[in-house]
Amino acid sequence: MSELRKKFGTGPVFFTAISTILGAVMFLRFGFAVGHTGLIGTIAIIMIGHAVTIPTALSIAEIATNQKVEGGGEYYIISRSFGLVIGSSIGIALYFSQAISVAFYIIAFSEAFVGLFEYIKSNYDLHPTLAWLMDRKQTVSVPALFLLTGLVLAKGAALGVKTLYVVVVTLLLSLVAFFIGDTAYNQQNDLDPFATVESVMEEEGVFNADTLFSETSDLEDPYRDYEEMRPANDTPRPVSPIETFSFFTVFAIIFPAFTGMTAGVGLSGDLAKPSRSIPLGTIAATVCGMIIYIFIAFKLSSSASPADLANTENLVMANIAWQGWWIIPLGLAAATISSALGSIMVAPRTLQAIARDRVLPSSKFSYWLSRGRGKNDEPYNSTLVTVALALLFIIMGQLDFVAEIISMFFMVTYGTLNLISFLQHFSADPSYRPTFRSRWFLSLFGAIACFGLMFFMNAAYAVLALGLMVVFYTVVSRYNPDKRNLAVIFQGVIFQFSRQLQVFLQKADKEDQSNWRPSAVCISENSFERIASFDLLRWISQRYGFGTYIHKISGYLSKSTHKQAREAKARLIRMAEASKSNVYIDTLISPSYTSAIAQVIQLPGISGSENNLLILEFSKQNPDNLKDIVDNFKLINSVAFDLIILGSSERGFGLKKDIHIWITSNDYENANLMILLGYIIIGHPDWKEGAIKIFAVFPEATCSDERNRLFQLIEAGRLPISPNNIQVIPRPEDRPIKSIITEKSKDADLTVVGFQGESLKHSGIGVFEDYKEIGNTLFVNAADHKTIS
């Protein structure tokens, strides 16, 4: 793509935002808010609303001064912070809200012509067809959409911005006319900041708001003479003056008035200096909008009775303003057409940016949407799609449901922007260096307020909006498996959280060591030839413990061995993902087995507590490394590690149904660890059909006592071992225990036996031999006695 000419400054950002903020809701519903909640209540609505919008504006300003914001505005910020899959899921929702907003504002624009059409119908004898057309909002909205589209497609964003200036001037004139206007109510009544239509009805004993309006109105309604001419099939405005509304219901209706502050961000791709223009324009528009709304609330409250304000059948600002009969409808038309213009400029750019990221299911459709025209890369094709979508909703005409969904999507967007700012503060990434900084607590408050207010406004729509976001994420994730990476911002947050947690755990008082929890580390040179030790580690660390798997590479550290280590680590991580394990993977380059063991037993535990269990392995068919294991036992024992050595066979773990645990009179310290390991392993889903059998070999004179002790241990420890699975065998003097184990456990899937350091001194590797006829065997040596309670 050729280098594009960026020529816009801060002005378009400010005017696009302020013209969207001071839009249709200001003209059509702000008097309604003052009438139902009073001046104090309306100011509260303004303050609560801006408690969301101001932190969002600050967050946008912060993010925009840290990174180059390309085309797509808010979508670009979100996708480059949260990753393409999550970012595009939010971006698609954002695009739909922007596109449907075009229809919303165009229909609101048609409201400006209601008075004119009523006047024409009452003074002229019209053909029935023409009168019917005047009763339809589409008579104005459809041609207005096509005219606006033609303007944008023909001249691009440049003419759109020039038109925006004209619209803003018209909007300013209508506000000036409104503020200089005067009414009889203003001259005859003092300002009551607490007066609402409900309080007046209660005070007057009037329970019919229509009666209240007719008796208390001091305003001249320029359109009231034409009410009797309203056709029988004409649909009244959505809010009846007879109804009463709670504070949060009114808030939900008014809140969209404050949500236009990010409209200018969508022009980021057309700005000369986005990092300067976006913060200045967005913050200025947000603050100016809040101030103007406060003054409007004061003016409305002092110029009309609560009943007049609450009556949405009339354009109350037209009754108050100087020359309001024509200038306020003109202002309404200007506000809505400017908002529509802003949306029709921004929405296609969002869609174009999404398409250029190649995250949509169809690559051909993405390419078609991403194409721009002219030297400014105008999103021509994306504009056509946006207009088609807006036309569909204009023809439907009923936008109440859609409008609330739009608000929910915008709230998700604002909440996400605040969340990005907060997470960037928390992650403490040194590459995050914005020239403008918000405060982390403001960003956090803004995020919580956004997501919380969604449910205050309409819980059902909030759930529906979030459900649609999940659908978008599922579709994008399915068609873009290569883009499902962990975004840098999440990596930073996890890093900081892990660091703080480990420091906290290190400083905190440790739990009683008798309450043993495995923090295991396993080392093996044969990770890809024998995976039994990896499986054993993932079973131990799945739920009850923590596991680190170290793949040893023999040799000295060099460029080639470092590359080999990276490749092996990547393979092991894929293997861990495929098995859905909770094992941490790493590699170690070492010239000798002893140096590798020495390094491994000094590794810090990933759980914040020290490692306490070492897992080694050898092959029963080819025990080349068994001597190294025996030779390093003393080194391992010096740091009080529990040691388990897995002798793997060709049969592997078989059907994963039977675990046999063998206990002898020499296994006082080993016995409880052996039972705990069996219990932990059998808790893994791979062993869901498994059972533990305990074989205790003791001198015949003590068999009865040992049996009772084992029963009490199992019962007190609440271990899932049936008494029927405990077998006490009198030890024969003329038969080696190994032969008994071989006979009883020849069909076991895992056999667990204990060993002692003293036996290694005398027998060496012979301790682990003569078990070839049974499956995988786990040899256990406990550093100290474990308590089962």
Tens-digit pLDDT profile for residues 371-400: 887 777 788 889 899 999 888 888 876 655
Asked if residue 685 has pLDDT above 80, the reply is yes
Q: What is the pLDDT of residue 535?
A: 93
Helix (H) or strand (E) holding 483: none
What is the per-residue pLDDT across 92-111, written as a single tens digit (0 to 9) for each?
888 888 888 888 888 878 87
586-630 pLDDT, tens digit each: 999 999 999 999 999 998 776 667 888 999 999 998 888 899 999
Stretch 484-493: mean pLDDT, rounded? Answer: 67
Give every strand in the sheet of 519-524, ordered side by side.
583-590, 546-554, 519-524, 613-619, 642-648, 777-781, 750-754, 658-664, 691-698, 726-730
Nearest to 280 by CA among 73, 164, 436: 436
Q: What pLDDT score does 748 carry?
A: 93
Average pLDDT, the chain: 80
Least-confidence region, from 207-216, 433-442, 468-477 = 207-216
The least confident of 246-250, 523-527, 575-579 is 246-250
Higher-confidence position of 510 and 564: 564
DSSP bridge pairs for 524: 551
Looking at residue 216, its pLDDT comes to: 44
The pLDDT assigned to 235 comes to 39
- Higher-scoring residue by pLDDT: 543, 178: 178
Tokens of 621: 């068919």
Cβ burial, residue 69 (10 Å; 0-12/13-18/19+): buried
Q: What's the confidence (pLDDT) of residue 152? A: 76
Q: How far apart are CA 718 and CA 727, in angstroms?
A: 18
- Residue 259: what pLDDT? 75
Distance CA(265)–CA(282), nearest Å, equals 8
Amino acid 781: pLDDT: 93
210 token code pair: 């229509």
pLDDT at residue 542 in the model: 84
DSSP 8-state secondary structure symbol assigned to residue 4: P
**Which pLDDT belongs to residue 364?**
86
Cα-Cα-Cα-Cα torsion 337, 338, 344, 349, nearest 10 degrees, comes to 180
Q: Residue 522: is its pLDDT beyond 80? A: yes
Look at residue 229 in the predicted model and tell me its pLDDT: 35
What is the phi/psi pair of residue 741, to 5°?
A: -60, -45
pLDDT value at 86 more than 70: yes
**Tens digits of residue pLDDT in 319-363:** 888 888 788 888 888 878 777 877 888 888 889 989 888 888 888
126/130 Cα distance (integer angstroms): 6
388-392 long-range Cβ contacts below 8 angstroms, 24+ apart: 389/96, 389/99, 389/100, 389/103, 390/99, 390/100, 390/102, 390/103, 390/106, 390/145, 390/344, 391/103, 391/142, 391/145, 392/103
Residue from 261, 276, 205 nearest 49 by CA: 261
At residue 161 the predicted structure's pLDDT band, cuts being 50, 70 and 90, is low
Output the pLDDT for position 7. 63
How sure is the predictor about 187, in pLDDT bands with cuts at 50, 70 and 90? low
pLDDT tier for residue 633 given thresholds of 50, 70 and 90: very high
Give the range with max mean pLDDT: 23-32, 307-316, 429-438, 503-512. Answer: 23-32
- The pLDDT assigned to 511 comes to 54
pLDDT value of residue 67: 67
Residues 434-445 have pLDDT tens digits of 877 888 899 999
Residue-wise pLDDT for 538-561, tens only, equals 999 888 888 999 999 999 999 999
Residues 6+ apart with CB under 8 A from 601: 521, 611, 614, 635, 636, 639, 641
More confident residue, 716 or 124: 124
Strand partners, 530: none
Lowest mean pLDDT among 79-83, 462-466, 531-535: 79-83
Res. 131: pLDDT tops 80: no
pLDDT number for residue 202: 63
Mean pLDDT throughout 519-524? Answer: 93
